[in-house]
Structure 1
Amino acid sequence: MRLLLVEDDLSLQANLADHLKQANYSVDVASDGEDGLFQALETAFDAAIIDVGLPKIDGISLIEQLREQGGDYPVLILTARDGWQDKVKGLDAGADDYLTKPFQVEELVARINALIRRSAGKASPIIINGPLQLNTRTLALTMNDQVVTLSSSEFKLFEYLMLHQDEVISKSTLIEHIYDQDFDLDSNVIEVFIRRLRKKLDPNNHYQLIETLRGQGYRLRSLSAE
C-alpha cells in the first residue's frame, strides 16, 4: 500500500515515514501543502496523512482541492491538541479521520490500516479468500491454517490483490500502489513476484489463484471455502 505523508516538521515526518515503512507501507513525503497537493493529484495513493498547519497551502485547503479534483482515497488529518475547530473543518473538507498531536505511532498505523480496508469494503483486519487468510494488522498469511512466509514486497503485492479480488489490475497500477516515487517503472519485478507468489501459494496450479490476462494485467480469483 502506498501512502502520502504531508508534514512540515521534518523530524516528525522522518519518524512517521520510518514507522510506516516498518509497517510495510511505501511512503511518499511532502513538506508543504503546495508539493503535497501536486503529489496528491498526480498519484493514485491508497491513503494520505495530512497535517493541518502546512506552509504555502494549509491542510484543509489541500483536502478541499483534492476532493474537488476527484481524489477519493482516504485522508487522515493531524491536528494540534486544542484544534477541535480544525478537526471539524477537516472532516467537512473531506477528511475521513483525524489524530490529535501528540499521538502514538501505533495508533496512526492502525487507523490508516482501517481506512484502507474500509475503502476496499473490508471491515475486518483479516481478509479471507477460500483457504487463504491475510491479517493486515499482524502482516501474517496462512493457507489451510499453515503459515506462508512472504517477503515484504511479496506481502505488499499480495495484500493489494487480496483487497481487490476478481479485479483486473494492471502492472502499472500495482507498481503505483506498492512502490514509492523512486521505483523504476520499467522493471520486471512485478512478474518476478507474481511467479514467487504462485510457487508459494499454488505450486500445482490447483486453485488457478492468480490469472494473467495478456495486455491487461493480473487477477486474483475469489475462492470458495473448502
Structure 2
Amino acid sequence: MRILLVEDDAHLGEIIVRGLREEGYQIDRAMDGNEADLFHITRTYGVIVLDRMLPDIRGEELLQKWRQGNCNTPVLMLTALDAVSDRVTGLKAGADDYLCKPFAFDELLARIEALQRRGSLNTSSVIKAGNLELNPQTRLLTLQERSVMLNRLEYDLMDLFLRHPGQILGKETLAGQCWKEPWEASDNTIEAQIKNLRKKLRLIDDRVWLKTIRGVGYRLEVV
C-alpha cells in the first residue's frame, strides 16, 4: 500500500518514513500543502497522514478541498493541538482519525492499519467505467456478459485506468502506483504489460482500448 505523508517537521517526518518503509509500505512525503496537492492529483493512496499545521495552509483546509473533490481516501490527521475543539475541527473537515503529538510509532502504525482495513471495506465494491466492470474480489474484468480474469499486475493497472477514465496516465504514474519498486518498471516492462492487458481487453470487446498517446502515456477509452 502507498501512503502519502504530509509533515513539515524534517526530523519527525524522517522517523515516520523510515518506520513505515520497514513495515513494507511505499511512502511519498510532502513538506507543504502545495506539494501534497501535486502528489494527491497524480497518485492514488491507501491512507493519507496529514499534519494539521503546514507552512502554506492549514491541514483541515487542504482536506476540505480534497473531500469536496470526492476524495474518499482515509485520512489520519496529526497535530500538537490536543483540545477537544481542535479534534472536532479536524474530524468535521473530513479526517477519519486524529493523533496528537507526541505519539509512539506503534500507535501511529496501529491507526494506519485500522484505516487501511476500513478503506479496504469501502473499496470492495465493483469498480465501473462506462459498461466496463472490475471486481476486486475475483479480479474479473467484465463487459456485459463477457469476462476475463486478470493477474495481480494487470488488475492493478486496470484499476488505475478505471479510476481515471479518459485521462492520460504516464509511465511514471503507472510505475509508482502498480509496481512495489517503481525502479523495476522500465519502459519496456510497462509496454509489455500494457500489451498483455490489451490482449485481455480484446477477449471481451475490441471497442475497449488502451490508446497510446505518444511521448505522454496511455488513455483508457471505454464503450
- What is the TM-score when the length of structure 1 is the normalising length? 0.60
Q: Verify the 8 A CA contact 2:5 2:48 in the aligned structure 1.
A: yes
1:6/1:30 contact within 8 Å kept: yes
CA distance in structure 2 between the partners assigned to 1:178 and 1:113 by the alignment: 21
Residue-by-residue CA offset, 1:91-116 (whole Å, 9 max, x unaligned): 11111001110111111111111111
What is the CA-CA distance between 1:165 and the residue it aligns to? 2.2
Partner residue, 1:171: 157
Q: Distance in 2 between matches of 1:178 and 1:107?
A: 28
Q: Deviations over 1:46-105 (max 9, x none)?
A: 110000000112111110011111211100000115343332111111110011101111
Aligned partner of 2:99 in structure 1 is 99
Q: Distance in 1 between matches of 2:40 and 2:181?
A: 13
- Equivalent residue for 1:186? 187
C-alpha separation in 1, matches of 2:189 and 2:97: 36
Structure 1, unpaired ranges of 5+: 123-163, 193-211, 217-226
Alignment CA distance shift 1:69-1:179 (3 Å): farther
In 2, the alpha carbon distance for the partners of 1:89 and 1:185 equals 44
Contact 1:6/1:50, CA 8 A, preserved across alignment: yes
- How much does 1:182 deviate? 6.5
Gapped runs of 5+ residues in structure 2? 123-135, 142-154, 161-173, 202-223
**1:16-63 alpha-carbon deviations (Å, 9 max, x no partner):** 000011111000000011111221222111110000000112111110
Counterpart of 2:25 in structure 1 is 25
Structure 1 vs Structure 2: percent identity of aligned residues? 35
Matches within 5 A, 1:121-160: 121=121
Equivalent in the alignment of 2:47? 47
Cα distance, 1:184–1:213 mapped onto 2, change above 3 Å: closer
Give, in angstroms, the shift of residue 187 of structure 1: 6.2
The letter for the 2-side match of 1:30 is A
Cross-structure match for 1:135: none
With normalisation by structure 2, the TM-score equals 0.61
Residue type of the partner of 1:76? Answer: L
Change (3 A) 1:187 1:171: farther
Distance 2:65 2:83 in 1: 21
1:182/1:69 CA distance change after superposition, 3 Å? farther
Please say which of residues 4-13 and 104-113 is displaced more in the overlay. 104-113
Structure 2 Cα separation of the partners of residues 41 and 165 of structure 1:
26
Q: Which amino acid aligns with 2:5?
A: L
